[in-house]
Amino acid sequence: MANSQRFDRHKFTAASWYYPLGTMIRVVNVKNGESVVVKITDRGPALHLQRVVDLSEVAAERLGYVGQGLTPVFVYPLTHFETESASFDSGLVGAPASQVPGEYEANAIVKPM
């Protein structure tokens, strides 16, 4: 593969010319609504075929189209971002007066200058 690894049809990988190597994408089968997250590890399919992505066998099985060859899909990249833990007593979130489970209010922290 283009990432210098051996291809493994049992891993959730894909080939595409449209996304950088290493990009995680969600692929949704338009016919049945099933979706899968795969990593772009290779280049392809051939541009003249007018296909956006080529999936590994296990990803195609998860989407439910093995044996059909092609299926219409919706593809979008997943963004990666870093998160940082807040301390338990940081005061960023407070319980509402109504005490309804699942409802929270955000409190702004204002530092005096």
Q: Say what the alpha-carbon torsion angle 34, 38, 43, 47 is, to the nearest 10 degrees.
A: 20
Domain chopping of the chain, boundaries: 13-77
- The C-alpha atoms of residue 70 and residue 48 are separated, in whole angstroms, by 15
pTM for the model: 0.66
What confidence score (pLDDT) does residue 68 get? 87
Say which CATH topology domain 13-77 has.
Answer: Barwin-like endoglucanases (2.40.40)
- Once rounded to an integer, what is the mean pLDDT over residues 90-107? 55
Q: What are the pLDDT digits (tens) for 12-59?
A: 999 999 999 999 999 999 999 999 999 999 998 888 888 899 999 999
DSSP string, 37-104: EEEEEE--S-GGG--S-EE-HHHHHHHT-TTT----EEEEEPP-----PPPTTS-SEE--TT--TT--
pLDDT above 60 (res 106): no
Is pLDDT at 107 greater than 80 in this prediction?
A: no
